[in-house]
Structures are given as structure tokens and as C-alpha cells.
């Protein structure tokens, strides 16, 4: 029935090192290496100078090539959100991973416990059942894991909410299995990252720090020591870094950026990061009053709004599964079938997750094609 002998380029990279960026096949994601490296160096230096560790979040880029650059720039390790993501990063040689999530289900805990035999793995919990599942799996596997208690600092998603719960859970961690170690607190608030004004973000982090500090005080009073206090993202990392409480921060989007993060007003002492991630599309149809690009909802996530077109006088009107319709202002220069145009994604994480490749370039030349190895790693 099949043509097993046939082999097509279906999964090949849209460009190779040395190609001109004009020859990248579309729709593709480009990474401007100058901007990427600026962002990487600036954020890491600020955090390291403040005396904290950087644990870059791999969920934003899903690419071991980027993780290795983050480690080379001083990151302690990376964060993942999924067990299967962590597997892919460990396989690529990353040795220190925090899974910033609750891991529930016997298949998943068995995989985490197996992974912990090959790398330093930490996970988060907010319920005794999670501790029991991972404890049983680690005992069976003979591996050891660090366990962080997640505290809800206003995100209203996962996390315990008071010291009483924290002490009970720390006790469960310490008593349930000698394969688990209570290592500290995970306190991250996604919604704080996107508050537009610096004073809003400062107030959110300040209130989080107060809450976490109170919980830690009571944990210490019950002889549970918090080695690690981790959290903070691209929008707030310097607030956590100057809190005298957090020991590490977890920025993810900072190396790539997107229009949603760029819409934040930066703090006075914090120049804005640069857009390093761009969608590249080809104009495939030109009509009276609009033109059509060859990438749509399967190339750009729209949960944080439409991608922003970088073409003077033109803007994005709508996206459908495979197309983006763009429209001109009066007097805009015409576009032509075959033209290539760039768009800045509105939300980098789910956009990168739609692509198998990131095309890293400098100037006009492709330097590397980075596989998005953990693309679609959902489990």
C-alpha cells in the first residue's frame, strides 16, 4: 500500500547554514542571533551579579541547542514543564532539570523516577498523592529526587496556600520515602509577568515574597529547611532577584521575546529586551485590497493576539488555519506574489511549539538550523 522506498524532504530544515535568509523556505521561524545573544547575556549577567542562579525555562524554546547556550552563559540548569520534555533535554546532555509542575499518573512518575537515575531532577507538589506516587516510583527505581512545594502566590492555578499545608506536605515528603528530599519552594505567578506597569509587577512580587517568607519562617520553625526558592519569569525576574528570598529565577521567553512581553513598560533600570524571534512568510496571493501569506494558525499561536506584521503600511487582518490575510493603509507600497515578509509572534512559547526548526541567522546569513526537539512533548 505504501511507497516505503520514497523519501521526501517533508521533515527537512527550511534552510541550511550558509544560506541567505532570502532563501529560507516558509512559513519558518527565524532567530536573530545578535538580539538573542544580547538578551541572553544581559539577563544572565544581571541575575548572576545579584547572586542568584539562573534556571532558564525550556518550555519557551524546547530546543537543546538553546539550552546549551544558556548553560554556557552561566545557567545552573533548566526548567521543563513536562516529563517528556525533560527526557529530551537529558538525552541532549542537560544534567540539572526542575520540572515546574505536578506529575500525576503511574506512567509519568515511573518515567520521572527513571530519568532521575541519569540526571539531577526536581519536581513540584501541592498534594500528598503526588508525593506518594513519585515516592513509590523512586523507591522502585532506586533513584533520588528533590521535591519542591508549590505555593500559590496569586496565579490561582496550582499550589498550596498556607503554612499549615506546607508543613504537612514537607512532613509527607520527608517521611514517605528516603528517595525524596524536601528541597524548598516553587512560587511562580504567570499572570504577574504580563502586568503592564513596573509598579504593578513590583506590588505583585512584593506580596508574593511576603507570603512565601511567612511560610518559610513557619517551615523552618518546624525544622524543614528550604534550600531552594525558585520562580520569576521574563517580566519580573529582577524583582525576585532583589528580594533577598529567592535563590534562583526561571525566565524563559527572554531569549526570544514576543509582542505580549514587549507591551510591558520596562522598569526604569531595565532596558527592554530585543525581539529575536520572527515568523517568515511568503505572499502567495495578491487581491484588490488584501494579500495572503502562507502561514496561519498552524504557524502562529493567537491566544495572546495576532502576530505583528513588519511591513510598512500593512497590517494583519485575520488568520485562518493555513493563511494570514494582510491589508494595506491608503498609499501603502504594493506587495507582490513571492515577496517574503516578517511577523513578530504574539506569544513565543506556543508558537515555537508549532515548528520543528528555529533558523538562527546573523546579518543576512543562516548560521544554524536548531531542531525544536521537544516540540509537541506533551506527556
| Closer by beta carbon to a second copy, 51 or else 376 | 376
Q: Which three cell numbers stand for residue 10?
A: 517533508
**What one-character DSSP code corresponds to residue 229?**
E
Q: What are the DSSP E strand ranges found in 88-209?
A: 96-102, 120-125, 145-150, 180-186
Among residues 17, 51, 93, 142, the one that binds a second copy under rule CB under 8 A: 93
Among residues 319, 341, 358, 366, the one that binds a second copy under rule CB under 8 A: 319
| Closer by beta carbon to a second copy, 56 or else 130 | 130
Angle ∠(91,96,102) on CA atoms, nearest 5: 95
Q: Which residues is 377 bridged to in the sheet? A: none
Contact 121, 108 (CB under 8 A): no
Output the smallest distance, CB 180 to a second copy, in A: 17
Output the smallest distance, CB 200 to a second copy, in A: 19
> Does 217 contact a second copy by CB under 8 A?
no
> Does 152 contact a second copy by CB under 8 A?
yes
> Does 3 contact a second copy by CB under 8 A?
yes
| Closer by beta carbon to a second copy, 55 or else 108 | 108
CA distance 107 to 97: 19
CA distance 48 to 140: 38
CA distance 190 to 156: 10
Among residues 17, 51, 105, 178, the one that binds a second copy under rule CB under 8 A: 105
Q: Is the peptide bond preceding residue 183 cis, with omega within 30 degrees of 0?
A: no
* Burial (Cβ within 10 Å: 0-12, 13-18, ≥19) of residue 184: buried
Output the smallest distance, CB 364 to a second copy, in A: 18
> Does 49 contact a second copy by CB under 8 A?
no
Output the smallest distance, CB 244 to a second copy, in A: 29
Contacts of 232 (CB under 8 A, 6+ apart): 188, 205, 239, 240, 241, 246, 249, 250, 251
> Does 295 contact a second copy by CB under 8 A?
yes
| Closer by beta carbon to a second copy, 42 or else 342 | 342
Among residues 111, 186, 189, 275, the one that binds a second copy under rule CB under 8 A: 111
Output the smallest distance, CB 44 to a second copy, in A: 19
Stretch that binds a second copy, among 95-103, 172-180, 207-215, 221-229 (CB under 8 A): 95-103
Among residues 297, 313, 328, 332, the one that binds a second copy under rule CB under 8 A: 297
| Closer by beta carbon to a second copy, 33 or else 65 | 65
Contact 337, 286 (CB under 8 A): yes
> Does 230 contact a second copy by CB under 8 A?
no
Amino acid at each position: 500500500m505504501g511507497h516505503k522506498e520514497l523519501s521526501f524532504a517533508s521533515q527537512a530544515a527550511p534552510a541550511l547554514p550558509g544560506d541567505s535568509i532570502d532563501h529560507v523556505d516558509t512559513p519558518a521561524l527565524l532567530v536573530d542571533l545578535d538580539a538573542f545573544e544580547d538578551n541572553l547575556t544581559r539577563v544572565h549577567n544581571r541575575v548572576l551579579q545579584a547572586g542568584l542562579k539562573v534556571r532558564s525555562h525550556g518550555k519557551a524554546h524546547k530546543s537543546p541547542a538553546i539550552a546549551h547556550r544558556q548553560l554556557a552563559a552561566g545557567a545552573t540548569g533548566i526548567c521543563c514543564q513536562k516529563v517528556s520534555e525533560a527526557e529530551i533535554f537529558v538525552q541532549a546532555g542537560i544534567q540539572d532539570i526542575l520540572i515546574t509542575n505536578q506529575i500525576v499518573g503511574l506512567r509519568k512518575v515511573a518515567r520521572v523516577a527513571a530519568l532521575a537515575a541519569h540526571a539531577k531532577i526536581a519536581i513540584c507538589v501541592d498534594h500528598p498523592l503526588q508525593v506518594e506516587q513519585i515516592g513509590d516510583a523512586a523507591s522502585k527505581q532506586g533513584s533520588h529526587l528533590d521535591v519542591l512545594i508549590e505555593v500559590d502566590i496569586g496565579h490561582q492555578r496550582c499550589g498550596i496556600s498556607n503554612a499549615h499545608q506546607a508543613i504537612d506536605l514537607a512532613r509527607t515528603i520527608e517521611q514517605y520515602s528516603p528517595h525524596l528530599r524536601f528541597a524548598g519552594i516553587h512560587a511562580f505567578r504567570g499572570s504577574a509577568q504580563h502586568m503592564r506597569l513596573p509598579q504593578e509587577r513590583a506590588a505583585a512580587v512584593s506580596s508574593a515574597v511576603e507570603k512565601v517568607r511567612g511560610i518559610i519562617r513557619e517551615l523552618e520553625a518546624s525544622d524543614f529547611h528550604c534550600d531552594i526558592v525558585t520562580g520569576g519569569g521574563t517580566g519580573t525576574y529582577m524583582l525576585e532577584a532583589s528580594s533577598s528570598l529567592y535563590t534562583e529565577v526561571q525566565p524563559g521567553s527572554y531569549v526570544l521575546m514576543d509582542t505580549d512581553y514587549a507591551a510591558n513598560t520596562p522598569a526604569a533600570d531595565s532596558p527592554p529586551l530585543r525581539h529575536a524571534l520572527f515568523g517568515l512568510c511568503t505572499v502567495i496571493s495578491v487581491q484588490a485590497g488584501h494579500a495572503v501569506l502562507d502561514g496561519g494558525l498552524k504557524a502562529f499561536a493567537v491566544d495572546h493576539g495576532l502576530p505583528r506584521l513588519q511591513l510598512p503600511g500593512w497590517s494583519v487582518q485575520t488568520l485562518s488555519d493555513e493563511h494570514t490575510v494582510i491589508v494595506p493603509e491608503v498609499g501603502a507600497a504594493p506587495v507582490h506574489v513571492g515577496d517574503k515578509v516578517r511577523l513578530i509572534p504574539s506569544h513565543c512559547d506556543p508558537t515555537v511549539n508549532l515548528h520543528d526548526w528555529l533558523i538562527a541567522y546573523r546579518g543576512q546569513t543562516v548560521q544554524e538550523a536548531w531542531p525544536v526537539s521537544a516540540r509537541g512533548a506533551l506527556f
